[in-house]
């Protein structure tokens, strides 16, 4: 019997967080080996575990997978989060990429903008894109589809990634969904799925927003 997946990354969100979300959403327990020093990172490289010399890296089913999207694709296929046919998969991939693009802006925020004034300008830009480009699309998808989930009528990676991104945007502005009632209802539904609800509770593997201390610690390891 295969052991639990093992996640190799620093003790923070970053590009591993969506992987944590997806595994948790399907009820898969995992272990985390945090990279806490340059020596930890160099050992992984020296041992040949990092194909492109970077993390995240996930040990799963006898493989050592790198590259975030490759890892997410594997988990989605393994745990039936990719739809029932090629057309559903195309829609799921499209919606997932949209959520990823928006979430990437939030993920990069603490790393790019040290100056509070510049960071505030970036937050305003992110919220503008969320309200003007991304959330209207998902609101329309939910309206046109008329189901609880984005594609078909079952949970997919697109639902998980949209929920993760939506909650991250709400950390920037709590009432950001006020003009998107269907998306707000979607957030509530998804958050009450038992495995996801568990992941959202204190003490779960979900990581808090990245703060300046986390950035400083990660820089010492990766730069």
What is the residue-level pLDDT of the chain in tens, covering all 223 positions? 468 999 999 999 999 999 999 999 999 999 999 999 999 999 999 999 999 999 999 999 999 999 999 999 999 999 999 999 999 999 999 999 999 999 999 999 988 867 888 889 999 999 999 999 999 999 999 999 999 999 999 999 999 999 999 999 999 999 999 999 999 999 999 999 999 999 999 999 999 999 888 998 998 898 8
Q: What is the dihedral of CA 46, 52, 53, 59, to 10 degrees?
A: -70
* Residue 208 falls inside a structural domain: yes
The verdict on 160 and 208 lying in the same domain is no
152-162 residues labelled b (16+ CB within 10 A) or e (exposed)? beebbbbbbbb
The verdict on 184 and 213 lying in the same domain is no
CATH number of the domain enclosing 160: 1.20.1050.10
Cα separation, 182 vs 203, whole angstroms: 29
Domain interval for residue 209: 6-79+200-222
The verdict on 53 and 95 lying in the same domain is no
Exposed, middle or buried: residue 82 (CB in 10 Å: 0-12, 13-18, 19+)?
Answer: buried
* Residue 174 falls inside a structural domain: yes
Give the model's pLDDT for residue 207: 97
The verdict on 125 and 184 lying in the same domain is yes
The verdict on 106 and 183 lying in the same domain is yes
* Residue 188 falls inside a structural domain: yes
State the DSSP code for 85: S
Sequence-distant (≥ 6) Cβ neighbours of residue 139 within 8 angstroms: 180, 182, 183
The verdict on 43 and 66 lying in the same domain is yes
Number of domains comprising the chain: 2
């Amino acid at each position: 019997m295969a052991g639990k997946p093992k996640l190799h990354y620093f003790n923070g969100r970053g590009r591993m967080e969506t992987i944590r979300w997806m595994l948790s959403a399907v009820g898969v327990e995992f272990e985390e080996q945090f990279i806490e020093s340059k020596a930890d990172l160099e050992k992984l490289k020296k041992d040949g575990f990092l194909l492109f010399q970077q993390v995240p890296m996930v040990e799963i089913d006898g493989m050592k997978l790198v590259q975030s999207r490759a890892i997410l694709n594997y988990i989605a296929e393994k745990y039936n989060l990719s739809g029932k046919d090629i057309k559903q998969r195309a829609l799921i991939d499209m919606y997932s990429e949209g959520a990823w693009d928006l979430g990437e802006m939030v993920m990069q925020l603490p790393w790019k903008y040290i100056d509070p004034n510049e960071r505030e300008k970036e937050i305003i830009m992110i919220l503008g894109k969320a309200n003007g480009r991304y959330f209207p699309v998902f609101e329309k998808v939910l309206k046109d589809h008329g189901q609880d989930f984005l594609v078909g009528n079952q949970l997919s990676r697109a639902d998980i990634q949209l929920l993760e991104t939506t909650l991250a945007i709400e950390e920037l502005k709590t009432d950001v969904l006020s003009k998107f009632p269907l998306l707000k209802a979607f957030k509530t539904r998804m958050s009450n799925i038992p495995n996801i609800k568990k992941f959202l509770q204190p003490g779960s593997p979900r990581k808090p927003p990245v703060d300046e201390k986390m950035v400083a610690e990660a820089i010492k390891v990766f730069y």
